[in-house]
Amino acid sequence: MSAPKKLFIKTYGCQMNVYDSERMAEALGGEGYVETKSPDDADMILLNTCHIREKAAEKVYSELGRFKGLKAEKPDLKIGVAGCVAQAEGQEIMRRQPLVDLVVGPQSYHRLPEMEAKAREGEKVLDTDFPEEDKFEKLKNRPKAKRGPTAFLTVQEGCDKFCAFCVVPYTRGAEVSRPADRILREAQDLVERGVREITLLGQNVNAYHGAGPNGDMTLAQLIWELDKVDGLERIRFTTSHPNDMQDDLIEAHGTCAKLMPYLHLPVQAGSDKILKRMNRAHTAESYLRLIERIRAARPDILISGDFIVGFPEETEADFQATLDLVEEVKYGTAYSFKYSTRPGTPAAERPQLDPKEADDRLQRLQALLTKQQREVQDSMVGRDVTVLFEKAGRFPGQMVGKSDYLHAVHVADCDRAIGDLARVRILSSGANSLAGALID
Ligand code: 5AD
Ligand code: SF4
């Protein structure tokens, strides 16, 4: 038998890319590849790229340039670009970087084995189609290997919202939901391999409307089906749009014990003028009322968000409205970005703000969000939470896991194993994590 070929995958960007990279590794696993942690001994290198913000494509080109020496030493080395830069740039990647053998868009990963075979024969292969078939169904070369206690599971892909700043509707395509039976089968399989917590992924996950036994299902209905899976202890989902936050999903946060009290609900901005220009189709007020309803269903829920500052036409007063909204919501975590123009999106054509002004606003917003994040984390001290242990800590006897609220928690003198859940009393709050002790 020949030695296995080695595959090095570098993943950029969002959790969906992490999930996709796992699926690509599994697909190529069927072709005799095993993963390696270093590009140096790889027979194939795949960059799974992100296009959401500026310079992503440039980063990919500079990374590719670094493989020049490797390829010279090892002419059989194949180099591929996957993900959203592959989708957006297509053929241009091969034109600019002749080292690249293979370009594959996010909807074509199931075709990787054939593409790899062609590349081995010296062909340059490109596939950025949006095929009809379910790529995940085709990606079935799944070895039954044991897994860690947490996993991502893509249930929905693409987006029909067309926010004026965002490339996702172009790179990931229109909204598509996977049928519920396939998701449930995959969840069952993950649980059999040791997974206790599943995060359902979708660019617009709460718009989920996959086929079920009695017609289309909502995300809440899917969550209730997953609730019945024995051995699955925790369910999370991300990312949601405020306008798709339906009543049954809000209610599930109060009634489904496996659904964790954590919700990532991006608002992007606090000024109605800017929200309108962003094509967000909600107002600051409607978002605040929605948060109120979610908190009425689940008072301790931790709210997370995304923000963009320096969007075209954002005035100081508009920015102040974002700060005011943040003050009102009180976020447990948040991601904030300076607006970056994405070619092909509507906002790219508009007059851009002074970058210095945008930098200044980003710093001010981040200072407020960091303060809130710290306050929310500190408020956990003295409380009892459930922790799912994910790995051993740095010190002997220490274990690290995540609380229901997704805070990292360190527990000393811990006799529990990876994958165990335990009640923990929080004793202190550090820079980025909590420390606690087991409650017997
Ligand atoms: N510029 C800055 N941030 C962006 N995001 C999406 N597109 C852009 C852009 N062009 C942010 C949004 C989104 C998150 C994933 O990335 O806040 O919610
Ligand atoms: Fe992009 Fe999200 Fe808006 Fe869709 S809803 S266009 S993914 S920011």
- 220 and 96 share one domain: no
- Give the tens place of pLDDT for each residue, 235-290: 999 999 999 999 999 999 999 999 999 999 999 999 999 999 999 999 999 999 99
For the cut 80, the answer to whether the pLDDT of residue 136 exceeds it is no
Q: Whose CA is nearest to atom 16 of ligand 1?
A: 52
State whether residue 156 is helix, strand or coil. Answer: strand
Q: ∠ CA 51-202-215 to the nearest 5 degrees? A: 145
Show the DSSP H helices in 90-199 as ranges: 91-96, 112-120, 135-138, 168-171, 180-192
With CA atoms as reference, report the closest residue to 204 among 280, 112, 315: 280
Q: What is the CATH number of the domain that holds 429?
A: 2.40.50.140
Mean pLDDT in the chain? 94
- 355 and 246 share one domain: yes
Task: Please name the amino acid found at residue 235.
Answer: I
CA of 335 to the centre of ligand 1 (A): 9
Is 135 part of a structural domain of the chain? no
- Give the tens place of pLDDT for each residue, 12-31: 999 999 999 999 998 999 88
For the cut 70, the answer to whether the pLDDT of residue 187 exceeds it is yes
Residue to substitute in 265, 304, 308, 336 for testing ligand 1 pocket (most ligand atoms within 8 angstroms of CB): 308
Counting atoms of ligand 2 from 1, which one is nearest the CA of 159? 4
Is 132 part of a structural domain of the chain? no
Confidence at residue 141, expressed as pLDDT on a 0 to 100 scale: 52
- 239 and 357 share one domain: yes
With CA atoms as reference, report the closest residue to 253 among 303, 186, 182: 303
Residue to substitute in 16, 337, 345, 365 for testing ligand 1 pocket (most ligand atoms within 8 angstroms of CB): 337
Query: Among residues 330, 349, 378, which one ends one of the domains?
Result: 378
User: pLDDT band for position 188 (50/70/90)?
Assistant: very high
- 191 and 335 share one domain: yes
Q: What is the CATH number of the domain that holds 228?
A: 3.80.30.20
Confidence at residue 193, expressed as pLDDT on a 0 to 100 scale: 94
- 194 and 151 share one domain: yes
Is 216 part of a structural domain of the chain? yes
Confidence at residue 56, expressed as pLDDT on a 0 to 100 scale: 78
- 278 and 330 share one domain: yes
Query: Among residues 77, 100, 127, which one ends one of the domains?
Result: 127
For the cut 80, the answer to whether the pLDDT of residue 401 exceeds it is yes
For the cut 90, the answer to whether the pLDDT of residue 133 exceeds it is no
Confidence at residue 142, expressed as pLDDT on a 0 to 100 scale: 55
- 121 and 166 share one domain: no
Region 393-403: mean pLDDT is 97
What is the number of domains present in the chain? 3
Task: Please name the amino acid found at residue 220.
Answer: A
CA of 227 to the centre of ligand 2 (A): 28
Asked whether 25 and 111 are in contact (CB, 8 A), the reply is: no
For the cut 60, the answer to whether the pLDDT of residue 374 exceeds it is yes
Structure tokens at 134: 């379910």
Confidence at residue 144, expressed as pLDDT on a 0 to 100 scale: 67
Counting atoms of ligand 1 from 1, which one is nearest the CA of 268? 17
- 123 and 147 share one domain: no
Q: Whose CA is nearest to atom 7 of ligand 1?
A: 166
Q: Whose CA is nearest to atom 6 of ligand 1?
A: 166
- 249 and 298 share one domain: yes
| Ligand nearest the Cα atom of residue 205 | 2
- 170 and 288 share one domain: yes
Is 133 part of a structural domain of the chain? no
Is 217 part of a structural domain of the chain? yes
Is 364 part of a structural domain of the chain? yes
- 20 and 110 share one domain: yes
Show the DSSP H helices in 219-354 as ranges: 219-227, 247-255, 272-277, 284-297, 316-329
Ligand 1 site, CB within 6 A: 52-53, 165-166, 266, 268, 306, 308, 337, 339-340, 342
Q: What is the CATH number of the domain that holds 81?
A: 3.40.50.12160
- 318 and 363 share one domain: yes
For the cut 70, the answer to whether the pLDDT of residue 391 exceeds it is yes
Confidence at residue 58, expressed as pLDDT on a 0 to 100 scale: 85
Task: Please name the amino acid found at residue 86.
Answer: A
Percentage of residues in the chain with pLDDT exceeding 90?
Answer: 89
Residue 219: left if φ>0, alpha if ψ -120 to 50, beta else—which one?
Answer: alpha
CA of 378 to the centre of ligand 1 (A): 28
Is 165 part of a structural domain of the chain? yes
Is 422 part of a structural domain of the chain? yes
Residue to substitute in 156, 167, 168, 208 for testing ligand 2 pocket (most ligand atoms within 8 angstroms of CB): 168
Confidence at residue 143, expressed as pLDDT on a 0 to 100 scale: 59
Pairing state between β 78-82 and 102-104: parallel
Q: ∠ CA 170-239-229 to the nearest 5 degrees? A: 120
Query: Among residues 61, 96, 127, which one ends one of the domains?
Result: 127
71-85, 104-118, 136-150, 239-253, range with the lowest pLDDT = 136-150
Confidence at residue 303, expressed as pLDDT on a 0 to 100 scale: 98
CA of 308 to the centre of ligand 1 (A): 6
User: pLDDT band for position 140 (50/70/90)?
Assistant: low
Range of the domain at 275: 140-378
